[in-house]
Structure 1
Amino acid sequence: MRTRLLALAITAGIGLTTASPSNAATSRTAVHFDLAKGQQPENIALAPDGTAYVTFAAARQVAAISPKGMIRILATLPAPADGGAPALGFALTTGIVRTTDGTLYFLYASGDPATTGLYRLRPGRNPHRIAALPANGLPNGLAYDEPAKTFYLTDSVLGSISTVPLSGGTARTWSYAPELAAAGFLGANGIKVRHGAIWATNLDRGTLLRIPIRQGRPGPVQVKATGLAGIDDIAFTGNRDDQVIAALNAPNKVVRIDTDGRAVTLLTAGLQNPTSVAVRGRTLYVLSAAYLTAKDPNLILATIGARHA
């Protein structure tokens, strides 16, 4: 994994075109995770009380992080007998979503047909797989369309977006658009549902994509921003427009992308290969997995300006 990301870091150093941090956010490291225990946070979902639910990729875990920084492990997925997810070589928990009733849904990429899939985790219960996913793929980003009661998920190896109903069942491929394909390592990555469209990132291509949802089917892919080497997951700044905040993994940056596709650096301090971001009001949550730096996986809290909220 580190070798792969090193190659990505070299590419990022050559190709990244973001503006200087003139709109930088003030930040602090809220939680330091334990690298030796595999606590490399991959994705995040927020609860109304400020609890952050995260997936610890290498540990194959789902955890709750209290507003005071206390870590509680909610589930640990079984390790595969051998191997792991394609392209990475190890099993990992990836995307996570929390629905309004407090239920967590998350992805597990193990390389094993018996365990790779979308899981449901109700409070106080054990996780249960509700949809099997291709073991030769890497299910990565997860988003939920509440009105449609449908999950959308990316596969970074297969270069696809699939859907699964809230009740579980068969996963169906929604898009195999060429813009989702990998270009050497991993393709489609982060994903969100926003104003009648799917927004997704492509790690290899450094792109931010928008795909309209038209009567449940994908419309033409729109490339909203380019030159974002190492782009991982994203969040939106508020309800008024489509400004995006994105984690750039190998470059160790968090950027804001305006509606014209221009990226401005918001944060660099303390970042250790940031994987995902979340926004609540003026607070920005940033997870760092330290996949490449191998130093300090962490959760950073930043205050962003009122115009970003």
Structure 2
Amino acid sequence: MSTKTTKIDRLAELTAQRESTAGASLWTEALRRLRSSKMALIGGVIIAVFIVLAIIGPWIAPHNPILQWRGEVFLNQNIFVGSRSENWLGLDHLGRDQFSRMLVGARQTLLVGIVATLLGFTAGALIGGLSGAALAFGGKIGRRIDTVVMRFIDMVLALPSLLLAVSIAAILGQSLTTVMIAVGVAQIPIFARLLRGSMLAQSNSDYVLAARSLGVRRRRIVTAHVLPNSLGPVIVQSTLALATAIIEAAALSYLGLGNPDAAQPEWGVMLVQAQPYFDHAPMMALYPALGIIITALGFTLLGEAMREALDPKLRS
């Protein structure tokens, strides 16, 4: 079993754990630990700043992000404009304000990450939920269904997610929608296996055994009890998936598979456009690269803090 699969299964087991001491529930204790975590605080602040800038960016941008300051940049002479009072981050290769493009591009970067993650979450939860319910409550036929579905999921999961996303994007063609679909599809196996494992862990809980002994229907047990209690680790994973989605979307744009409208600001596209001029104007590439790295770091820190808060082995 691969390391990626082992980590996913471990996360799926966390919410099935129960405190041996009386008092706070698992989620109450996890929330308390999360509030006192410096990692969660830093990640939350980064994410909050990113979301606020993505929402209000087009209104606070000092200049039109597609307006060109003509007569300022001369590519044939390798003359570029750096930071100055009118343009805090300088001008790009076409004389457009870098600061305004960073602000406006944050919204598109966030949109791609959220839509791709929602797509992966929805489809993965549907597959994983059906597979987990079939294995836990479907008897012999259910076990066969689960075996077929999970072997396919494991094969897809064995592929690097970026390679899978690139393959899908290359087939569908260059567009912003393609990026969202490609990145979202690459996330489906992770969510599917995670929810399935969480449901299996929950199916052995005392409340499920009690419901069965009282004659509660299997469908009712799954939809009203097992499934809602199994979504915790999937929600944690969605935070980490957002970081991955932002990085992979930028990578697809870098490979020329992103938004075909190069005039529209997006951090991945800005990074691609700055590549030919890196020797003479490295800051053009540094700004969008830092934006991608810091944003992904914020989601990763928050996701890891949530994972640790849920793990009973890490509690003091």
TM (normalized to structure 2)?
A: 0.23
Q: Which has the larger radius of gyration?
A: 2
Q: Which has a greater percent of helix?
A: 2
Higher relative contact order (CA 8 A, sep 6+): 2
TM (normalized to structure 1)?
A: 0.23
